[in-house]
Every structure is written in C-alpha cells, then in structure tokens.
A and B are shown apart, each in its own frame.
Chain A
Amino acid sequence: MIETTIKSIIHHHASDPTRLLDILLDLQNQFGYLSAETITQTADLLDIPVTRVQGVVAFYNFLYAKPVGRYRILLSNCIIDTMHGALAVMDQFCQQLGIKPDQLRSDGKVSIAETSCSGFCDQGPAALINGVAIASLNSQRIASIVNLIENDTPLKDWPAELFQRPDNIQLPGYLLKQAITPGSAISSLLSRGTQATLDEIEQSALRGCGGAGFPTASKWRYCRDAEARQHYVVCNADEGEPGTFKDRVLLNQFADQMFEGMTICARIIGARQGFVYLRGEYLYLKDKLQQIIDERTANHWLGNDIAGVTGFDFEIKIRLGAGAYICGEESALLESLEGKRGIPRIRPPFPVTHGYLNQPTVVNNVETFATAAKIALEGSQPFNQQGTANSPGSRLLSVAGDCTHPGIYEYPFGTRIDQILDDCRAENTLCVQIGGPSGTMIAEADFHRHISFEDLPTGGSFIVFNGTRDPLEIAGNFVAFFAHENCGFCTPCRVGTTLMKNTLSKINSGSGSQDDIAELHQLCELISKNSHCGLGQTAPNPVMDTLACFAERYQAKVNNRTFTPDIDLEAALQEARQLTGRDDPAAHLDQFNE
C-alpha cells in the first residue's frame, strides 16, 4: 500500500531525480514525515543512492525524517517578528496546546518549532501552519487557531480571515504604479525585434535586483552566446533575506508581468524551458501562480508558438523550495532545482554558461524579470530617467521594524535614508539594517546616505530599529541565522559562524570579555575573506557593523573584564550536583573569580 503510494507519486513526477524535492514534499504530505522506509524506497525507485535522499531530507528545514504533528506550527524567528512578540506567541501556543518547542505532542496531533524569516515582517509575528503562512498573530488569533487544531478542523476549512495577508503597498513608483497588460511586452518584443529588445534592456542599464546587481543585459547576452543543447530561464523567487517581502507582493500582484519578463528572456537567449523557484514559505501562492501560467498558456503567451510565432516555444514550471536560505544563492538554487542539497558551486564557471543541468542558464530575481518586461514594453527611457548615474531606475524596499507604516516602498535609486524613515513614520531611530543581515547596518550619522549600488546597495530589506533596541542582540539574532542557514560546505563559514554566534552570545549574556571582542574582530576577518560563497563572505557584516557603530555598547557589556571562561561553570557542575545531591559551597563555582 505504502509502496503503491510512493510509486504513484514518483511516477507523477516522471521518476525524475531532479524533481526530488517535489517528490519528497508530496510524500511528506501523504505520510506526515519521511520515514527511513520511505527514503529507502524513494531512492530505489529513482535509482539514486539512499544517501542522496537522506542528505536532501536533512538539508532542508521543511523536510522531516521524524514524525511531526498533523498540525505543524513554525514560528518565524526573524528579528522583526521577535520585536513584534514572537517569543510571547511561542509561549502562548505552547501553553495552550500543552507542548514544548521541537517536541511532538503525545497524541501526535501538533508540534511547534522556529523557522527563519517567513517573509511577513510587515505583519508579524507570522507562522507557517502546515506550510501555509498566517500573519498578524495576536492572542485572539492564537486562541482561535488553538481551537481549530483541537477540534481537528482541516486547514482548508479555517476561516478565510486567518489567511488575510495584505500587500501593504505604501508607495508605488515606476514598477508598482501599474502592471503591464498581459502579452503587451511580448508584442513589443516581436515588433521591435529580439536584438533590439536586448539593446533596449542594455540601454536601460537594468541591474539584477537580487542584491549583487549584475547588469541584466550582459547576463542575457553571455547566456545567449554560450553554445549548448538547451538554455534555461530561472526565476529566483526564493527571497530569504530576513526582512524582505517585496517579491511576495510582486508574486501576488505582478506575476503575469514577471512571467512575461521570463518569456522575453527566453526569446532572447533561446530557451524553451523556464522555472520559478518559489520559496517554500510562499507555498500558498503556488496555485495562484500556476493558474496564471495556465491562463497565459491558453492565451498563447506561453507554450508552443507563442503569439503565433512558429518556434517561439517556452514553458514555465514552478518548483518549490523547502526552507533553505542558501538556495537564494544562484548556484545553490540550481543544485536545489536539480534535486540536490543546496551547496553553492565553484564559480567560475558561472550559470550563464554552466547552469541548470550544466546548460547555459539565466537566473534572475522576480523584480528583475518584472522590470525587464516593462522595459521591453515601454523602452528604456521611462526606467532610466530616474535614479542616479550609476544606479538608474528604482528599487522596491520591504520596510519593516520600528515604524508606523511598514510595507512596500518603491524609490528611485539615490533616495536618502532619512527620507525613507520620514515616509514610513519611523521615530527615535537608532539604526537601520539595509539589505538584511548580509547587508549593512547604519546609525544616525549615516542617515544622509542613499540607496544605490554605489552607496548602500540592497536586495530590498530595510529594517528600522528604534532607541529601545539593543544592536548587539540584533547582531546576535542575525549571526544565529547564518550559523543555522549556512550549508556546511567550507570550513571558515561552517565552523566560524558557530564560533561567532557563541562568542557574541557569551558577550550578550554578560559573561564576555575584551578578549572576546578581539576574537570577534578576528573571526569576522577570517570568515569574510576565506568563505566559499556570499553567505560566508557577508555573514560577519552584522558583527563588523555593530563593532564599528556601537563599540561602546560592547565595552559596556564586557565590563572591563580582560578574560572570562568560555564555559558556564555553574551549568557545567549542575548535572553533578543533581547526581550527588550536593549543594555545599564547594559544589559551586564563581564564573568570574573576582
């Protein structure tokens, strides 16, 4: 019986090992978790080593090798959700459901755990329940969720108001003011010509919106010029940088335009196959996106002979991620798309020549494709008449944190930070994290700086912290994120992020010393210079920035101590005290020996 189910699910995915993630997600939906037996049979049926399946299951946060609750609650531990009370939410759920984090309730009904930023920072605290996002958690909503769970109400029958997730577009600009009419950019492409369209995108000087900012036209041209059997277009919809949620809004309102951008790219580079790699947290958007693909296919904007042009064939498939920040890195994404652990590849070669299945592949972000479609339709001028000389165009910011009006703001490049803070009604701002934990933290002295590739580049995350926040605790949250999300491939990042997390947590707990501060400096240098990919190279940023901006706060926490033990001595004696029943003075140790 189990075997038949596994067979049919694998068959449904064409027995294709590159679709391992989809297969495992489906199997998990069926069985609740992925038992050793399921894993072995899957490996057998796909004719791949069982270790590959195991490895994938253990790599992704949303795949479980052990039983989890029929209702699984994952609470976002993003710094913003934490500021919005995620810890209290966790307590309330645990108390009302009678569970503890990371433990399955004895009746097997429910389990709860933390997850990295789920992309609802403008309406946190947020959770994923059986993979579906629920935002704006408060006591009342928690109570009704607990009630629904205890009454065994299937998720699909939960009241719709629980699933309301407003887009909160606060300031539309070039891109957000109006979506293009579906098909219109394809018509422009066909009338203007493929080369001329690429030239137009080149003219626009559009740069990738995921953060790295590589010129889009160059990427497309390199890919087009790489000779190969197949070319691929991949849309990176895996925005996992804590604090960012603008791609969620684009996917909700501008998916048609994004698909159109992918189609234009496909025409230019000669691809017949495209993928949207959708982060697992946005599972709830999958059906809607598929529906748009189906409509576009029905309207001949996808499929064979697009817009009646013989040989203009392009199809788009949606592939779901499974909870791994590293898969936002384009080569890790490609590995994941091939059904593997998301380990960033050695670069060069780059995806433009050796991408998906080793074929030339364009990987661009949601915003980039949506913008490219608009440029193809309207020409480069409306786009690049705003912005700065080196950073033409506009940028979507996901603004959240300590401000009255969180949400999506579209700004021309060159907009000053203090302007943005005014617009979102931030008061008493201590510091702003630009571009998420891997980006830059700036304090008040730098609020005159501006969003641009030449000054403060960003993939869209904009987190505001007011004077009541502790920047070192913020850095601690960010570093814990990197220690949790790094892939484990290279030594400096795998070990270094954990050492950095432990050292900072030692300082934050009040047991740190001058030596620990010096150690942080050295670790930052080591990790940033020696790591394999962008994750490791940027993971020390929160520590380096806080060391630079808030040196005095570090000093205050270490309280002039030059050296302190790395271990908690009292805790190290706790077990022996219990086993011996001793509590005499000699059964205790003073942490600081002062």
Chain B
Amino acid sequence: MKTNSISIDGQQITFREGQTIIQAALEAGIYIPYLCYHPDFEAHGSCKVCTVRVNGSHCSACTTFASDGQVVDNHCEDLNSSRRAITQMLFVEGNHLCPSCEKSGDCELQALGYYLKLFGSHFPHLFPHREVDATHPHILLDRDRCIFCELCVRASREVDQKNVFAISGRGIDSELVVNSPSGTLLDSGLDVNDKAAHVCPVGAILIKNQAFQVPIGQRKYDKNRIDDADLIEVKHDHIDS
C-alpha cells in the first residue's frame, strides 16, 4: 500500500508526489546540509554537500525524488565527514579569506563549515588567480569566492530572464563569466534589484556600500546555526504560501 513516506535516520516522514528528498526533509523539519540547492530554482546537484545514502547508495538529496519506503541515512559520521571534506575542498579551491570578506557572518559556506565543525582546511590550498570585477556602480563580483553553485546563473536565467552569468571553461579551470560586450558587470544589464545580485551564498556577488551595516557578530549565522536558520526560513515560506 502506498503511504508516501520515507524514513530519514529512522524518522518516518511523509512526502508529496514530485518532491525530492531534500524538499520533503526540510518540510518535515529535518535539515540536510546543502549549498547549491535553493527552493526557488531547479535542482542542480553539483555541490554534493547534500549527499545522503538512499537504500544503501549515495545520491544527492536535491535531485533524488522521494519514493515510498526509501530508507535514508543523513546524519551519520561518515556522511558528515564526507561533507566536511567537500566543504574543505571548496575552501582550498578558491581564496576564501573570511576576515577580509564582508559576507562573513552571512556566508553559507562559512556557516556550513561551522555546522560541520570544520576547524581547518586539511588540504593544500590551490591559491588560484581569479579576476575581481568592480566595474558595476552597485555590485561587486569577486571570483576568488565563487563556489560554482550556479545560483546566480539560475536566478538570472530563470527569474531575471537576463542570462547575465554563466560558467565557462572546464574542470578546475572553470570560471564564472559575465554576459556583456565588455565581459564585465558594467554593461551586463545586471540591476541591483535583480535576484541574481542577491542570491550568492558566499561573498562572490555583493551589493556595494552595505558592507558593515550589520556589524560582525550580529549577522545571520552569528545568531543561528545554519540548520536552524534554514528550517526557520522553510517554516516562514510554508506559512507565507
């Protein structure tokens, strides 16, 4: 008999047809860590932070549909340790110097690190050379901090319908590029009110002149751990809709 329920770490939850595991989990108040997932956009499945074990095999919770009777492992030491390593990979791949970043305290990569009790980088840093684009009067693009979640790409394409951002290149040489004659944000048509200007989970795309309106120490993830913060948001969205 169909019950539309799955078990996550032994807890039975129900899901609606067409929901992915992460959607069902968040709605049921269970946090699965993620970076590239966003409820407003098509699932992407690239960061691999939300990797869970479903009936024994690893898969992304954001791209795997919930189906009756699935047995999902989420919070267990081996999965969290993989998530920690993946997060460390993101840290060493770019140039993430939190003390010099105005996103600090509001940054999801950082908050995920806190959540996973990630204290050090572990891997050797790659210290890549990436270009900063400060041409736009209101928006800054600091590629050093890009984690290739493509949220800006998706937001610009799906919501703003502008295609301002895209990923170019391949492998470790991938880069975030801007769709404009000059290749910079200046003539890209990106507006400060666009979704794409606000969706970056890290400090790669920032609104200028707002750096320290909220002091360090009083920011989103200074107050709430990322799991609590995200579950609160899901709850609000649920009530709003």
Contact indicator B93/A495 (Cβ below 8 Å): yes
Q: Give the shortest distance, in Å, between A344 (CB) and chain B (any CB).
A: 10
Of all A-B residue pairs in the complex, the 10 with the closest CB atoms, nearest first, are A51-B166, A488-B174, A495-B89, A566-B124, A55-B168, A58-B169, A51-B179, A49-B179, A49-B163, A488-B171
A494 to B172, CA, bound (A): 5
Q: A51-B165, A51-B168, A495-B89 are in contact. Are A488 and B179 (CB under 8 A)?
A: no
Whether A530 contacts B169 by the Cβ 8 Å rule is no
Question: A346-B63, A491-B48, A530-B51 are contacts. A50–B171 as well, Cβ < 8 Å?
Answer: no
Q: Kindly list chain B residues whose C-beta atoms are within 8 Å of the C-beta of A488.
A: 148, 167, 169-174
Contact bitstring A52-94, B, C-beta under 8 A = 1, else 0: 1011001100000000000000000000000000000000000
Cβ-based interface call for B126 (8 A): yes
Chain B residue contacts of A484, Cβ below 8 A = 171
CB-defined A-B contacts under 8 Å, sample of 19: A51-B165, A54-B177, A55-B167, A55-B169, A484-B171, A488-B172, A488-B173, A490-B45, A491-B47, A491-B90, A492-B48, A492-B89, A494-B171, A495-B89, A497-B171, A499-B89, A502-B124, A532-B46, A567-B124
Contacts of A483 in B (CB 8 A): 171-172
Interface presence of B13 (CB below 8 A): no
Closest to B86 in A: A491
Docked Cα-Cα span, A49 to B161, in Å, equals 12
A280 vs B103: C-alpha distance when bound (angstroms): 44
Number of A-B contacts (CB under 8 A): 114
Q: Which residues of A contact B177 (CB under 8 A)?
A: 51, 54-55
A526 touches B85 (CB 8 A): yes
Does A241 have its Cβ within 8 Å of any Cβ on chain B?
A: no
Within 8 A of A (CB), among B25-80: 43, 45-49, 51, 58, 60, 63
Report the separation of the CA atoms of residues A522 and B86 in the bound assembly, to the nearest whole angstrom: 12
Among residues of A, the one whose C-beta sits closest to the C-beta of B162 is: A49
- Evaluate contact between B178 and A531: CB separation under 8 angstroms: no
Q: Given the complex, which residues of A lie within 8 Å of B123, measured CB to CB?
A: 499
Complex Cα spacing A268 to B163, Å: 40
B172 touches A51 (CB 8 A): no
Nearest chain B CB to A402's CB is how many angstroms away? Answer: 30
How far is B89's CA from A487's CA once the two chains are assembled, in angstroms?
16
Q: Tell me which residues across on chain B come within 8 A of A498, comparing CB atoms.
A: 126, 171-172
Query: Quick check: B46 and A490 within 8 Å, CB to CB?
Result: yes
Q: Is B92 an interface residue (CB 8 A)?
A: yes
- CB B148 to nearest CB in A, in angstroms, measures 7
Kindly state whether residue B10 has any CB partner on chain A within 8 Å: no
A52 and B89 contact, CB distance less than 8 A: no
Q: Which single residue of chain B is at the shortest CB-CB distance from A52?
A: B166
B82 interface contact, C-beta 8 A: yes
B217 at the binding interface (Cβ < 8 Å): no
Instruction: State how many angstroms separate the Cβ of A327 from the closest Cβ of chain B.
Output: 11
What residues of chain A lie closer than 8 Å to B215, measured between beta carbons?
none
Q: Which residues of A are found within 8 Å of B175, using beta-carbon distances?
A: 58
B172 is contacted by which of A49, A495, A529, A532 (Cβ under 8 Å)?
A495
**B181 contacts the other chain (CB 8 A):** yes
Tell me the complex Cα distance, A499–B123, Å: 8
Asked whether, in the complex, the Cβ of B171 is within 8 Å of the Cβ of A58, the reply is: no
Whether a CB of chain B sits under 8 angstroms from the CB of A116 is no
Nearest CB in chain A to that of B168: its residue: A55
A530 touches B48 (CB 8 A): yes
- Interface membership of chain A positions 120-153, coded 1 if the CB is closer than 8 angstroms to chain B and 0 otherwise: 0000000000000000000000000000000000
Chain B residues near A496 (CB-CB < 8 A): 89
Are A50 and B179 in touch, CB under 8 angstroms?
yes
Q: Beyond the given A490-B47, A495-B92, A497-B172, please list 13 additional residue pairs across the A-B interface where CB-CB is below 8 A.
A: A50-B179, A51-B165, A51-B177, A54-B177, A58-B170, A491-B90, A491-B147, A495-B172, A499-B89, A522-B85, A529-B58, A530-B48, A532-B46
| Chain B positions within 8 Å of A50 at CB level | 179-181
Alpha-carbon gap, A339 to B45, bound state (A): 22
Chain A contacts of B163 at CB under 8 A?
Answer: 49, 51
- B65's nearest neighbour on chain A, judged by CB, is A348
* B171 adjacent to A526 (CB under 8 Å): no
Whether B172 contacts A54 by the Cβ 8 Å rule is no
Complex-state Cα separation, A54 to B166, whole angstroms:
9
Cβ–Cβ < 8 Å partners of B85 in chain A? 522, 526
* B178 nearest in chain A by CB position: A51
Bound-state Cα–Cα, A300 to B173, Å: 48
User: How long is the Cα–Cα vector from A567 to B126 in the complex, in angstroms?
Assistant: 11
Which residues of A sit under 8 angstroms from B89, Cβ to Cβ?
A: 491-492, 495-496, 499
Report chain A residues within 8 Å CB of B124: 499, 502, 566-567
In the assembled complex, the Cα of A58 lies from the Cα of B47 at a distance in Å of: 22
Bound complex: CA A498 to CA B46 (Å): 17
A145 to B40, CA, bound (A): 58
Say how far B7's CB is from chain A's closest CB, in angstroms.
Answer: 21
One digit per residue, 1 when the CB lies within 8 angstroms of any chain A CB and 0 when it does not, for chain B 74-112 equals 000000001001100110110000000000000000000
In angstroms, Cα B166 to Cα A341, docked, is 11
Q: Does A458 contact B (CB under 8 A)?
A: no
**Chain B minimum-CB-distance residue to A484:** B171
A346 to B147, CA, bound (A): 19
Q: Which residues on A sit within 8 Å (CB–CB) of B178?
A: 51
Smallest Cβ distance from A212 to chain B, in angstroms?
16
Q: Which residues of B contact A51 (CB under 8 A)?
A: 163, 165-166, 168, 177-179
